[in-house]
Amino acid sequence: MSEGATDGRANAVEVRGLAKVFNAGRADAVEALLDIDLIIAPGEFVSLIGPSGCGKSTQLRLIANLTEPTRGEVLVNGKPARRARLDQDYGMAFQQAGLFEWRSVAKNVELPLELKGWDRAGRRRRAFEMLELVKLREFAEHFPWQLSGGMQQRVAIARALAAHPPLLLMDEPFGALDEMTREHMQTELLRICRETSTTVVFVTHSIPEAVFLSTRVVVMSPRPGRITDVVDVELGPRRGVDTREKEAFFAKVTEVREALRGIQPAGIEPDIEQVVEEHP
């Protein structure tokens, strides 16, 4: 396991003794996460994998400070998670593209910049750069409903990266896409992250996806979620169609599958990731 940055830069993510209990202190309390320690260095691509209900999405939401931990500490770029969120140190993408349907594609990409107070011309220029990056430049003036699911997800990635955050948090962003689009998007994501040198934390429950994308795969157990294994994936920085057919790729897929097999499935209880906290 990587012990963090050695070149003096702060770790991208530092999680120490993290625990999350939903409805704490009540009869229906649910322990979602327990004793999570995780250090992610800048430039890494780390996937969180585990059966549904293992709290991997909760962990991502804690890193993003979308929810507060019950115990423990989360640092992003060396700052407390809340500070990092207020400074917009990360970009985020979800399983739903979550595009605003009353905004054109370009206007959707501009939104985070708009909220940061960028001027119109600067926003416009950056939005087109980002759309260039995800190869959707010619769709800038289209509206989201005119795009396919994969294209919408690419717009969402462009939006997440628009402000050039050093960290990208992704919660099953390709979960709703078909296999072909999914593989294409994975290759594209690696290219984009290489070109922008972005650190990524990626939640998935697809083993090949985790192996193909990651430098490290973090394997988690079901409720209460704990890290049971960490698999380093040394497939090199340049991965493409051939990578998926290599012996080393299959070996890693097997390794992750075996790490997951040691884990009891979550059973038929309701999925913890479905526990939605009330927004005040």
98 binding another protein? (CB under 8 A): yes
66 binds another protein (CB under 8 A): yes
Residue 279: partners with Cβ closer than 8 Å, 6 or more residues away: none
- Interaction between residue 88 and another protein (CB under 8 A): yes
CA distances from 267 to 22, 201, 223 (A): 19, 26, 10
Question: Sheet holding 167-171: strands in order across?
Answer: 90-93, 167-171, 199-204, 45-49, 216-220, 227-232
What is the contact mask toward another protein in residues 123 to 162, using x (rule: CB under 8 A)? --------------------x-x-----------------
**DSSP letter string over 246-278?**
SHHHHHHHHHHHHHHHTS---TTSPPGGG-PPP
When the beta carbons of 34 and 84 are compared against another protein, the nearer one is: 84
The residue range among 10-18, 20-28, 100-108, 176-184 that interacts with another protein, by the rule CB under 8 A, is 100-108
97/260 with CB nearer another protein? 97
Per CB under 8 A, which region of 25-33, 44-52, 85-93, 124-132 contacts another protein? 85-93
Interface residue list for another protein (CB under 8 A): 61, 64, 66, 85-88, 90-92, 94, 96, 98, 100-104, 111-112, 114-115, 143, 145, 276, 279
